[in-house]
Every structure is written in structure tokens, then in C-alpha cells.
């Protein structure tokens, strides 16, 4: 259970509180704290890619990793969106994009949980991998928004792109899954 891919996933969850504290502490630490949070975030995103790649290459995929990896992704995005809302990086209409992204994540997770005991799987699509990437990029850009050219607009634009891709993939999963739900 504690193979390298699973340790990478666990490390991603372990670093999350540090990133959140650095984001919340921005008034005290300023840009230095944000850039540290961003650096840790980038490392966490790299581990998200590496854990799956290593598991497939080394043939060390496990039920634990299959369970934990998508859950850790959702915890990561949800926690960061909440903290960014609290720190006014996501507000107003932009918060709607974050809420729609989170709603899709919960709906698809719930659908997978419902279909699992019926031995029906909804495999991850290529577009869903792009969804994850755009969410990661949007989150990173929103994190450093006040410290880059263009202010928070690059992050907001990417958040909207992530929302659109998220809703498209969510619709695809729901359509495929609902065909299996018995009345």
C-alpha cells in the first residue's frame, strides 16, 4: 500500500495545509509567502502527474491509490477554492465558476460511488485529464494573480475555461452513468 505512487499522493495531501496557511497569511508575509505557496503547489501538481505515471510504468497500481488519487485531487481543489474565496481571489461571478466546478466534482464522484457496487465504471477521459490540467493552471494563476502582469485576469480567464471543460466532461459522465441507473 505504501509504494512510491501512493507516497506521492499522500505527500500532496500533507503539503496542502502548508499552502493554505501561506495563502491565508499573505497580509503578514506578502509576496514571499505567496511565491512559497505557489512553489509548493507546483510541486504538488507535478506529484499528481508522477504518481499515476510511475504506477503505470512500474506496474504498482493499487486499489488504495486508485481510491486516494482522485479524492486528493478534489480535496486539493476544494480547499484552495475555499481559501481563495476567503482571501478575495475568487469573488462575485467568479465564485459561481468555482461552485460549478465543485458541484460537478461531487456529482461525478457520487455517480461513480453509486455505480461501483454494480460493477459499472466510468473511465477517465482524455478531456477529463485536460479538465484537471486547466483547473490546476487556473488555481495557480489565481494564487499568484496580484503578483503577475495582468493581475488576476489570466487566472479568471483560465477558471472560466476550466469551468466549461469541467461542465462538458461532467455532462458526458452523467449521461453515460444515468443510462445505468434503474428506476
pLDDT over 80 (residue 175): yes
Q: Whole-number mean pLDDT of the chain? A: 90
How many residues can be counted in the chain? 183
Distance of alpha carbon 4 from alpha carbon 69, whole angstroms: 13
Provide, rounded to the nearest whole percent, the portion of the chain with pLDDT above 90.
57
pLDDT tens by residue, 19-32: 999 999 987 888 89
Fold topology of 4-178: 1.20.120
Assess whether pLDDT exceeds 50 at residue 125. Answer: yes
Q: How many CB atoms lie within 10 A of CB 58?
A: 11
Question: What pLDDT is stored for residue 79 in this prediction?
Answer: 96
**pLDDT of 183 above 50:** no
Residue 28 is placed in which grid cell?
503578514
pLDDT one-digit tens code per residue, 51-79: 989 998 999 888 888 888 888 988 999 99
Amino acid at each position: 500500500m505504501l509504494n512510491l505512487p501512493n507516497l506521492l499522493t499522500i505527500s500532496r495531501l500533507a503539503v496542502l495545509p502548508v499552502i493554505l496557511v501561506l495563502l491565508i497569511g499573505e497580509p503578514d508575509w506578502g509576496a514571499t509567502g505567496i511565491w512559497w505557496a505557489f512553489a509548493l503547489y507546483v510541486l504538488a501538481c507535478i506529484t499528481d502527474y508522477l504518481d499515476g505515471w510511475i504506477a503505470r510504468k512500474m506496474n504498482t497500481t493499487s486499489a488504495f491509490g486508485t481510491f486516494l488519487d482522485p479524492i486528493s485531487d478534489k480535496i486539493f481543489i476544494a480547499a484552495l477554492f475555499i481559501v481563495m474565496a476567503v482571501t478575495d481571489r475568487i469573488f462575485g461571478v467568479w465564485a459561481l465558476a468555482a461552485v460549478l466546478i465543485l458541484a460537478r466534482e461531487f456529482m461525478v464522484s457520487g455517480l461513480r460511488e453509486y455505480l461501483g457496487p454494480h460493477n459499472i465504471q466510468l473511465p477517465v477521459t482524455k478531456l477529463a485529464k485536460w479538465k484537471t490540467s486547466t483547473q490546476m493552471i487556473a488555481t495557480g494563476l489565481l494564487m499568484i494573480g496580484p503578483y503577475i502582469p495582468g493581475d488576476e485576469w489570466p487566472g479568471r480567464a483560465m477558471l472560466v475555461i476550466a469551468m466549461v471543460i469541467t461542465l462538458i466532461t461532467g455532462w458526458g459522465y452523467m449521461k453515460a452513468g444515468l443510462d445505468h441507473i434503474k428506476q
